C-alpha cells in the first residue's frame, strides 16, 4: 500500500517541522500553521514534531513528554490529515539521527560557526553551549533531505538553515553522485509576521516574559479579549494603517488575515469608532478562529491511546520513506547495508 502510494505520487513534496517547546502563539498559527493546512490540497506533505531539536536546551523530561503529545495533538487539531499525509514525531524515526551523522561528515565547521541562531542561543544559554546546539543545523538538514522534498516552507529566521541544507545536499551529490533532491524555499502566502501586543517592534513570541504580549493557542476567550484590550496602540484614536502606528498596524494585520478584509475596508468599518471597539473586534475574531482548534485539541488530548496509535502510524510511514533515502546515502558513501 505504501509502496504503491510512493510510486504513483505526482504532487510535489513539502516538509515542515515544529519543536515541542510550548504551545504555539497566534503568530505561529497565522504565519505558518494555517498555511500548512492549506498546502495539503496542493502538495504531498510531511509534518514532524522535532523533539530531538528541543534537547539542545535542557528540558524537564516529564514536561517535554507532555509537550510532544500536545504538539502532535495540535497539528491534528488545526486540520492536518494523518490519513493523507505523514505526521510523525522525529525521535520515533531513527533514520534522522543516523543521516545527521553522515551529513555531519559533509558539513564544514565554518558553515556551522556562521549560523546566527547558534550565536543567539549561545548568549541565552551560556551555561550549556553544547555540541548539539552547534551541530543541530546538520540534523535539520537530515530532517529535510530524508524525505526528498521539493520545497521547504521558511520564515525570515529560517532562510539561513534552508541555504545550508541546499549547500550540504549539493556537496554530497557532487562527491558521491545524485542522492538528494535540492529543496527550494517556499515562501508563505499569508499570515505575515504577527507582532507583540506590548511591543509591536518585535515579533510575537511565546517566550516573552510579558504574558500580555502574546496570544497562546490555548488561551480562553476571556484571556484573549483581555490581552487585546491591553494591546499597545497610539494616541491618535483613528483606525488606519500608517507609518508610526505600529500597534494599530499589527492589529489591522491580524484582523485582515482572519477576515480577509483589506486595510481600506477595515478603516471604513471602524471610521468614527475608537480603539476600544476595534480591539474588541479583533479579539472576538481571534476567539472565533481558535474555538474549533481548541475544541478539537481537547478531544485528542483526552485519548492518549489514539494519539499513540496515530504517532505509530505516522512513524511507520515516515520510516519507510526515510529508510530508502538513508540506505541510498550509506551505499553511496561506501557503507555496508543490512543483509
Catalytic residue among 12, 202, 203, 330: 203
| Phi, psi for residue 105 in degrees, rounded to 5 | -80, 0
d(C-alpha 234, C-alpha 338), whole Å: 66
d(C-alpha 76, C-alpha 78), whole Å: 6
Indicate if 12 belongs to the active site: no
d(C-alpha 249, C-alpha 192), whole Å: 12
d(C-alpha 239, C-alpha 243), whole Å: 13
Is residue 46 a contact partner of residue 149, using CB atoms and an 8 Å limit? yes
Is residue 16 a contact partner of residue 22, using CB atoms and an 8 Å limit? no
Catalytic residue among 11, 63, 119, 206: 206
22: left (phi over 0), alpha (psi -120 to 50) or beta: left
Indicate if 332 belongs to the active site: no
Is residue 328 a contact partner of residue 177, using CB atoms and an 8 Å limit? no
Give, in order, the Cα–Cα distances in Å from 299 to each of 140, 267, 304, 312.
Answer: 31, 39, 10, 19
d(C-alpha 320, C-alpha 315), whole Å: 8
Catalytic residue among 121, 227, 245, 279: 121
Q: Are strands 184-187 and 151-154 parallel, antiparallel or unpaired?
A: parallel
Indicate if 304 belongs to the active site: no
Is residue 29 a contact partner of residue 36, using CB atoms and an 8 Å limit? no
Hey, which residues are catalytic here?
121, 203, 206
Amino acid at each position: 500500500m505504501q509502496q504503491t502510494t510512493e510510486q504513483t505520487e505526482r504532487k510535489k513534496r513539502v516538509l515542515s517541522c515544529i519543536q515541542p517547546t510550548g504551545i504555539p502563539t497566534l503568530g505561529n498559527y497565522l504565519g505558518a500553521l494555517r498555511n500548512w493546512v492549506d498546502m495539503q490540497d496542493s502538495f504531498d506533505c510531511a509534518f514532524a514534531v522535532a523533539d530531538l531539536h528541543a534537547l539542545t536546551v535542557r528540558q524537564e523530561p516529564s514536561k517535554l513528554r507532555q509537550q510532544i503529545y500536545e504538539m502532535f495533538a495540535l497539528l491534528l487539531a488545526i486540520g492536518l490529515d494523518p490519513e493523507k499525509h505523514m505526521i510523525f514525531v522525529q525521535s520515533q524515526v531513527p533514520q534522522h539521527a543516523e543521516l545527521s551523522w553522515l551529513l555531519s561528515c559533509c558539513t564544514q565547521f565554518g558553515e556551522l560557526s556562521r549560523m546566527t541562531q547558534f550565536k543567539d542561543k549561545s548568549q541565552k544559554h551560556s551555561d550549556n553551549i553544547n555540541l548539539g546546539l552547534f551541530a543541530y543545523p546538520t540534523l535539520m538538514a537530515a530532517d529535510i533531505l530524508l524525505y526528498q522534498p521539493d520545497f521547504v516552507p521558511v520564515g525570515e529566521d529560517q532562510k539561513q538553515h534552508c541555504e545550508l541544507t541546499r549547500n550540504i545536499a549539493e556537496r554530497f551529490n557532487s562527491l558521491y553522485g545524485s542522492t538528494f533532491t535540492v529543496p527550494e524555499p517556499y515562501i508563505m502566502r499569508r499570515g505575515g509576521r504577527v507582532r507583540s501586543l506590548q511591543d509591536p517592534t518585535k515579533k510575537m513570541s511565546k517566550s516573552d516574559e510579558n504574558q500580555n504580549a502574546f496570544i497562546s493557542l490555548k488561551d480562553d476567550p476571556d484571556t484573549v479579549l483581555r490581552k487585546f484590550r491591553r494591546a499597545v496602540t497610539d494616541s491618535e484614536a483613528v483606525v488606519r494603517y500608517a507609518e508610526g502606528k505600529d500597534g494599530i498596524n499589527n492589529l489591522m494585520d491580524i484582523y485582515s488575515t482572519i477576515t480577509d478584509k483589506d486595510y481600506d475596508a477595515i478603516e471604513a468599518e471602524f471610521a468614527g469608532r475608537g480603539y476600544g471597539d476595534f480591539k474588541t473586534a479583533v479579539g472576538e475574531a481571534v476567539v472565533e478562529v481558535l474555538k474549533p482548534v481548541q475544541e478539537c485539541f481537547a478531544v485528542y488530548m483526552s485519548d492518549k491511546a489514539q494519539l499513540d496509535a496515530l504517532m505509530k502510524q505516522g512513524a511507520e510511514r515516515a520510516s519507510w520513506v526515510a529508510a530508502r533515502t538513508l540506505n541510498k546515502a550509506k551505499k553511496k558513501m561506501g557503507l555496508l547495508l543490512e543483509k
